[in-house]
A = this chain, B = another copy of it.
Amino acid sequence: MTKRPADPANGSAPAARQVPMRDFSRSLPMSLLRAREAVMRQFRPKLREYGLTEQQWRILRALAAIEAAEVTELARTAFLLGPSLSRILRDLEARNLIERKTAKADQRRSMVSISKEGVKLMASIAPSSEAIYAEITRRFGVRKLAELQEMLGQLELCLASVDASDEITDDA
């Protein structure tokens, strides 16, 4: 009722299709998705308690680390697309958690920074967040966690190089 192991007891038979395909539940994207969900499930309750979504938290964390940033730079750091970031910044600004001011040199750019209130909020949440992270690390193992991160980084890297080349050859 709460959560069956959810394991594919369905991996049984019907491979008789044209192209077999890997067992869907063991595809890399699914593995990554589920792993991430398992991790985030640990954090979300605490964030929710403070009225923050995962993305808002990402933005505040990024801002707390770099003091001020242009929107584009922030998007890259928090791994959000421009439009999402635009909306979220609008809301965070309305809640007085961030501040913006257009750059003097270039009126198009706007510098975003975390507000005093934002810092205070961060300070309230950070201990819990770190505790959760520590617990995850403990459960999974420090060594293994480092290994995993290393592999994830390598995966990202070895695929990133592909994108560049394939943006030219879309005809075949």
Residues of chain A having any CB pair with chain B under 8 Å? 2-4, 6, 8, 10-11, 13-15, 17-19, 21-43, 45, 54, 58, 61-62, 64-67, 69, 73, 76-77, 79, 119, 122-123, 126-127, 129-130, 133, 135-136, 139-140, 144-145, 147-149, 151-156, 158-160, 162-164, 167-168, 170
Contact = CB atoms under 8 A, between A and B. Distances in A.
Contacts of A77: 6, 8, 10, 24-25
Contacts of A6: 73, 76-77
Nearest to A78: B24
A25 B58 CA distance: 9
Contacts of A23: 65
Given A8-B66, A24-B58, A148-B152, 12 more contacts: A2-B167, A3-B167, A14-B67, A17-B64, A19-B123, A24-B65, A29-B39, A30-B79, A38-B156, A139-B158, A147-B151, A148-B151
